[in-house]
Amino acid sequence: MPFVRIDLSKKYPDGFAQQVGDIIYGAMRQHFNVPEDDKFQIITKHDANELVIPKSYLGIEYSEDIIFIQATISEGRSTQMKKSLYQAICDGLVEKLKVRPQDILINLVEVNKENWSFGHGVMHYAPKDQ
């Protein structure tokens, strides 16, 4: 049930952003046990002036090729699962798309399961007793 936002520069070629999305989805399937067909992503390409980043942070130097990945997920995954996910996404983007590892910024937003509705105004993961 992840909901993923991918923000990156317009300078990337057509199809690149979809490949990024596929790599993220594959890593989530493997490391977060995301079910097949549970792929909800919004991909937004930006002009250079719309991606505001520092030259460096925590000793990491960024470039205009930065890719922002934010996934809203249900809470409950361990720290180790999250570390494995971050590494798998990074490895996939570096190996398959030649993205600099410094330019991969990932943020997870955890929510309670009852905060999801996948359509029809239904709380699909409502507690059984309510």
Helices (H) then strands (E): counts for the chain: 2, 6
The structure tokens listed for 10 are 């317009």
Active-site residue, from 2, 13, 35, 54: 2
Q: What is the dihedral of CA 92, 1, 77, 75, to 10 degrees?
A: 140
The structure tokens listed for 32 are 């977060």
Indicate if 35 belongs to the active site: no
- Other Cβ atoms within 10 Å of 18 Cβ, number: 12
Catalytic residues: 2
